[in-house]
């Protein structure tokens, strides 16, 4: 439903519940319901596009990393080597690379499994500025984010406070040591 339709619908409902209101009293029309259904489909498609874009971005990052880890090999034939590592056809990967095909859930899970990435990694955006240094750091970041996102606001604030205090304590220790010297 567009914001105008939603506003009209909301105004109509308020008028129904508040007889002192001078607005007209009408029930939602078939047009309102149809528009709401259409908007819901549009939102779902928009979310699917975002998911597809994230998966493509992550695929390109993985492919670029694959190439960067093999500087001694020529760039020609890299897609075929990457396809072999993933257990997919090089033709299919070529279509993915050129954005002719989207990466479905099954293929995304296969890529994660073959590259030993956490489940759902292909579906999330990743920090490009500070990539994890090693597997332990990757695991910590994934676990911390999962824990943080599943908690209520009060627990999130507690976690932030605890981390902040720990960081402040660890940053003050080196200064104390230097002051003693």
Check whether 10 has a pLDDT greater than 50. Answer: no
Residue 181 lies in a domain: no
Question: How is residue 86 written in tokens?
Answer: 């993933």
Q: From 135, 169, 129, select the one nearest 121 (Cα to Cα).
A: 135
d(CA 6, CA 144): 39
CA 116 to each of CA 63, 111, 138, 159, 176: distance values in angstroms, whole numbers, following the listed order: 15, 8, 11, 28, 42
Looking at per-residue pLDDT, the higher value among 104 and 160 belongs to 104
Alpha helices (H) along 23-87: 30-68, 78-86
162 is a domain residue: no
Q: Which two tokens stand for residue 35?
A: 């528009």
Q: Evaluate whether residue 101 is within a structural domain.
A: yes
Does 72 map to a domain?
yes
- Give the pLDDT confidence of 61-74 residue by residue, as tens digits: 999 989 988 888 88
Total of domains in the chain = 1
CA 121 – CA 106 distance, rounded (Å): 13
**How does pLDDT run across 87-134, given as a tens digit for each residue?**
999 999 999 999 999 999 999 999 999 999 888 899 988 765 566 678
Tokens in use for 33? 């319901």
DSSP letter string over 79-144?
HHHHHHHHTS-HHHHHHHHTTSS---HHHHHHHHHHTTPPTTGGGS---SSS--SSHHHHHHHHHH
The per-residue pLDDT for 5 is 45
**3-state SS class at 87:** coil
Distance CA 9, CA 26 (A): 8
Domain that holds residue 16: 3-150
- What is the b/e burial string over 40-59, where b = at least 16 CB atoms within 10 angstroms of the residue's CB? eeeeeeeeeeebeebbbebb
Report residue 169 as tokens. 């304590």
pLDDT number for residue 46 = 45
pTM (2 d.p.): 0.47
Q: Is the pLDDT of residue 12 over 80?
A: no
Q: How far apart are alpha carbons 59 and 108 in whole angstroms?
A: 9
Query: Does any domain span residue 42?
Result: yes
In a domain, 127, yes or no: yes
Between CA 88 and CA 110 the distance in angstroms is 9
In a domain, 22, yes or no: yes
Q: Is residue 163 part of a domain?
A: no
> Mean pLDDT, to the nearest integer, of 132-161?
82
Tell me which of 129 and 24 has the higher pLDDT: 129
């Amino acid at each position: 439903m567009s914001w105008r339709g939603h506003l009209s619908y909301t105004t109509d409902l308020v008028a129904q519940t508040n007889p002192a209101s001078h607005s007209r009293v009408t029930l939602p029309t078939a047009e309102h319901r149809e528009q709401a259904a259409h908007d819901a489909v549009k939102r779902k498609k928009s979310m699917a596009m975002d998911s597809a874009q994230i998966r493509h971005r992550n695929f390109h990052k993985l492919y670029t990393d694959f190439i960067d880890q093999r500087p001694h090999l020529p760039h020609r034939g890299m897609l075929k080597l990457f396809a072999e590592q993933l257990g997919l056809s090089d033709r299919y990967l070529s279509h993915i690379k050129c954005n002719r095909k989207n990466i479905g859930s099954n293929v995304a899970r296969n890529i994660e499994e073959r590259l030993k990435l956490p489940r759902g990694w292909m579906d999330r955006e990743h920090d490009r500025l500070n990539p994890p240094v090693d597997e332990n750091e990757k695991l910590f970041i994934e676990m911390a984010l999962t824990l943080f996102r599943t908690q209520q606001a009060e627990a999130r604030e507690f976690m932030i406070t605890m981390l902040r205090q720990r960081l402040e304590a660890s940053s003050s220790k080196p200064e104390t040591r230097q002051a003693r010297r």
